[in-house]
């Protein structure tokens, strides 16, 4: 019996993955997409969708979990132990925004559902890493802020959400949002605007 569980994913796992992939596409296309719409688009009956996700909020919550994991992975890949704190912040924001831009409509949608309470908890590991980086910059005198590192990490986190909303509202072109967010994050940490702009341009060029 045990041997049957190894190997290829089960049909249930395959269905769950398909539902998640289709749900993401449908919700990004139409934030008001219902469970019925998602089921039809996934080619399954509504009962199958509810068998995996007991509510629309639970489905959105799972998608947000996956988005946060992708954001965390992007931040990890952007780290460079040999770079200074300011360079690391620039690289991190640019890398995270590249992923966050794909999910900004989903995250805006999640903030209007019961999952908003859990978004802060989901982002805790990423925030803790940012706190360590910001503390390093404060200790080295690269950053200057009246806020302690932990509070400044919250500011950076909320900045990213605010930039997402600005793009969603048509106030900022998406292609400009990443560099703008990175420069703003650095200036919020006390880096002069000209220096921040130069650092972000260099990070964006892969230097």
pLDDT tens-place string over residues 97-121: 888 888 887 777 777 665 555 777 7
- Burial degree of 126 (CB within 10 A; 0-12, 13-18, 19+): buried
The pLDDT of residue 78: 82
The pLDDT of residue 64: 85
How long, in residues, is the chain? 207
The pLDDT of residue 184: 96
- The residue that leads in pLDDT, 12 or 170, is 170
Q: Are 110 and 116 a contacting pair, CB within 8 Å?
A: yes
User: In angstroms, rounded to a whole number, what is the distance separating the alpha carbons of residues 156 and 188?
Assistant: 8
User: In angstroms, rounded to a whole number, what is the distance separating the alpha carbons of residues 191 and 183?
Assistant: 9
* Helices marked H in 111-192: 116-122, 124-140, 149-168, 174-188
Give exposure, 176-187, as e/b (b: 16+ Cβ within 10 Å). ebbbbbbbbbbe
Q: Quick one: which H or E segment has residue 108? A: helix 85-110
Q: Are 61 and 121 a contacting pair, CB within 8 Å?
A: no
User: In angstroms, rounded to a whole number, what is the distance separating the alpha carbons of residues 180 and 16?
Assistant: 37
Q: Are 143 and 131 a contacting pair, CB within 8 Å?
A: no
pLDDT tens-place string over residues 132-159: 999 999 999 999 999 999 999 999 988 9
3-state SS track over 30-74: CCCCCHHHHHHHHCCCHHHHHHHCCCHHHHHHHHHHHHHHHHHHH
- The residue that leads in pLDDT, 99 or 186, is 186
Averaged pLDDT for residues 15-24: 92
């Amino acid at each position: 019996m045990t041997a049957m569980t190894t190997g290829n994913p089960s049909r249930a796992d395959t269905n769950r993955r398909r539902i998640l992939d289709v749900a993401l596409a449908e919700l990004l296309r139409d934030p008001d997409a219902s469970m019925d719409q998602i089921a039809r688009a996934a080619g399954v009956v509504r009962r199958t969708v509810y068998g995996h996700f007991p509510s629309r909020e639970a489905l959105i919550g799972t998608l947000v979990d996956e988005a946060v994991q992708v954001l965390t992975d992007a931040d990890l890949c952007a780290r460079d132990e040999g770079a200074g704190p300011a360079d690391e912040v620039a690289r991190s924001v640019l890398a995270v925004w590249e992923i966050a831009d794909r999910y900004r409509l989903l995250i805006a949608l999640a903030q209007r559902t019961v999952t908003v309470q859990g978004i802060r908890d989901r982002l805790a590991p990423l925030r803790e890493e940012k706190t360590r980086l910001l503390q390093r910059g404060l200790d080295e005198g690269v950053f200057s802020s009246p806020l302690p590192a932990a509070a400044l990490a919250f500011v950076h986190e909320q900045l990213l959400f605010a930039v997402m909303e600005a793009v969603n509202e048509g106030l900022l072109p998406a292609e400009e949002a990443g560099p703008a967010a990175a420069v703003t994050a650095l200036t919020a940490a006390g880096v002069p605007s000209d220096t921040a702009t130069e650092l972000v341009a260099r990070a964006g060029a892969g230097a």
